[in-house]
Structure 1
Amino acid sequence: MSFQIQSYEFAETMEQTEIDYMVDRMHAIRERPGNPMGIEIMKFGGATAFFSKEMPWPQFNTVKGISLDDLHVLDEIIEFYRSRGSRLQFEIIPTKAKKELMKVLFERAFYQSDFHATLYGHPFEMSMSDGPITIRELEADEINLYAEIHCLGTGLSLSGMSYVADNNRVLLNREGWRFFVALVEGTPAGVGVMYMNDGLASLTFATTLHEYRNKGVQKALLERRITEASRNNCKFIISQAAYASTSFRNMERSGMRLGYTRATWIKG
């Protein structure tokens, strides 16, 4: 398998892919009647700011795409979140991590708290694993099943299941989005999601119930989504994971390769 030679342009393509699926996801949630999650999406120069009043978690209150060229709007970005009573984080890819930007963030009392990896690969038709695991698309009436596995697999309380269901129901039949469920001997054990747009496929989410881990469920979900990307003529598959995590290693085993690690900056 051949890989893309790394370049500044390709790094920004990978970053833009993540921005695109987040924009589409947040737009879909915002389109719910009355915008109950309080979604706002703002552009500040080349940066995209995501905000949710009712979902205070970092992934919904984050700034992507910021670069040195956006220093003139940095204080405006910070004020956007401050005025809404929200914490924020900046996600900065290596090609945009210039020392002048880092210095100004530090002067505004931000510090780097984490790294997160982005991986990529070329999709191809994979031979699905033999055995007790089957992968199929989620049915329209199974969004509660998806939400239950999502919560249990990620450690969220089942009290939030209705919110997860509502915020993903709007994606289920939306153009570009595909949902899959993994079954072990007929029992639902994991879920995976992907978003395809403009020849690029983002593997946006996957989780497995604790009792079914280390049985090949994630591998099977990856294989199915990589195959679907190939069948839909996507040029690249792109995904994110904690560096050297189980998800990271599963992606490498499926033929994906590290593109970069981006830095996460939060306020002290």
Structure 2
Amino acid sequence: MSTGRTPLFCDAALAERIERVEAQLIAKGSEAAHRRAAGPAGFVVPLAGGVASFAEEGSPLNKVAGLGFGGLPSTAALDDIERAFTACGAPVQVELAHLADPAIGALLTARGYRLTSFENVLGRALTNEHEQVPPPERPAVAIRPSGDDEFEPWLDVVAAGFAQPDTQGLPSHEEFPRDVIARAVRDLATAAGVVRYAAVLDGILVGGASLRLADGVAQFTGAATAPAYRRRGVQSALLSARLADAAAAGCDIAVITTQPGSKSQHNAQRRGFDLLYTRAVLVKQL
């Protein structure tokens, strides 16, 4: 990481752009789940600049994302969304950036939403000449594009890694079975226009990651390492490869979402990412 680097500043306009592409990602993944699943139909509904999504039962894509930069949602719109989640047997989960309109937090808590957890959004500028992408710390870890011919092995190692999260930092407020994770990762990987990466150590596929480019934002849409191969530089190598590709593609910012105080956040900050803002996770049980 470069020394003397000025930390990236995030204003409301940048947060709105990041939240908009996040809402697009959730919507695309949810729509893919609807096409795949044979059960009751889910929904993707625009809501005050964001999106309300129900992909399928138990999915991590069941949430309201990107809210807070398109005005206050109306009472009628919130009533409709809450009824839709109730019909699917799910609570309403809203991920609200702390740079969003503060009135939305007040509106939601007045409707019975309770603060459940937080997640951090980190970013790195890719346009400044003095902020060159750092080389990987462990060259022995080979990173390459992952093609369709190895999609199932890639999916297997990523799902296994996500199903056994690192215990450093604050725990997530939710856990998902491996099969649920695998379906969500599959939907995002096949429908959201992501690029997949494989991490290989000593000839073994030990990790995987993905990257989505939209509106000048490089979304680091997930990375996982097989538990037996952690602490060997796999995550750092995956970060470096995606940073280089994002910069080459002309993106001006790379973003990653982590649990507060996690190993993932530590790795990202060591690779030049700055904490941009925090999302509050607000849940209403219906």
* Alignment TM-score > 0.5, same fold: yes
- Cα displacement string for residues 149-196 of structure 1 (whole angstroms, at most 9, x for unaligned residues): 123212279x955x6666555655667411111111111111111101
**What's 2:55 paired with?**
52
Paired positions, count:
262
Bigger relative CO (Cα 8 Å, ≥ 6 apart): 2
Question: Deviation above 6 Å: which 4+ runs of structure 1?
Answer: none
Unpaired runs of 5+ residues, structure 2, are 127-131, 165-174
- 1:259 maps to 276
1:216 and 2:229 equivalent?
no
After superposition, the C-alpha distances for 1:60-94 in whole angstroms (9 at most, x for unaligned) are 11012333611432222211211222222011111
1:109·1:267 contact (CA, 8 Å) conserved in 2?
A: yes
Match of 1:11 among 15, 23, 27: 15
Instruction: Classify 1:126/1:28 alpha carbon distance in 2 versus 1 (closer, same or farther; 3 Å).
Output: farther
What is aligned with 1:110? 113
Partner SS, residue 198 of structure 2: strand
Secondary structure in structure 1 of the residue aligned to 2:255: strand
2:257 is aligned to: 240
Structure 2 distance, partners of 1:173, 1:267, is: 31
The 1:37–1:14 alpha-carbon spacing in structure 2 relative to 1, beyond 3 Å, is farther
Paired residues for 1:46-125 under 5 Å: 46-54=49-57, 56-57=58-59, 59-67=60-68, 69-72=72-75, 73-96=77-100, 98=102, 100-123=103-126, 124-125=132-133
Cα distance change on mapping 1:215 and 1:129 into 2, 3 Å: same
Q: Secondary structure at the match of 2:276?
A: strand
3-state DSSP class of the match of 2:99? Answer: helix
Q: Are the equivalent residues in 2 in contact too, given 1:125–1:231 (CA < 8 A)?
A: no
State the 1:42 CA deviation: 0.6
Percent identical pairs in the alignment equals 24
Residue pair 1:190, 1:217 contacting (<8 A) in 2 also: yes
Q: Which residue of 1 aligns with 2:168?
A: none
Alignment partner of 2:214 out of 160, 178, 197: 197
Deviations 1:41-75 (A, max 9, x none): 11133331010233x13x31101233361143222
Paired amino acid for 2:136: M
- Change in Cα spacing, 1:110 to 1:164, as seen in structure 2 (3 Å) is closer
The AA in structure 2 aligned to 1:259 is: L
Shift of the 66–180 alpha-carbon distance from structure 1 to 2, 3 Å rule, reads same
Q: Is the 8 A contact 1:47 1:70 kept in 2?
A: no
Aligned to 2:158: 150
1:39: Cα distance to partner?
3.9
Alpha-carbon separation, structure 1, partners of 2:163 and 2:115 = 25
How large is the RMSD of aligned CA atoms in angstroms? 2.6
The answer for the alignment partner of 2:146 in structure 1 is: 138
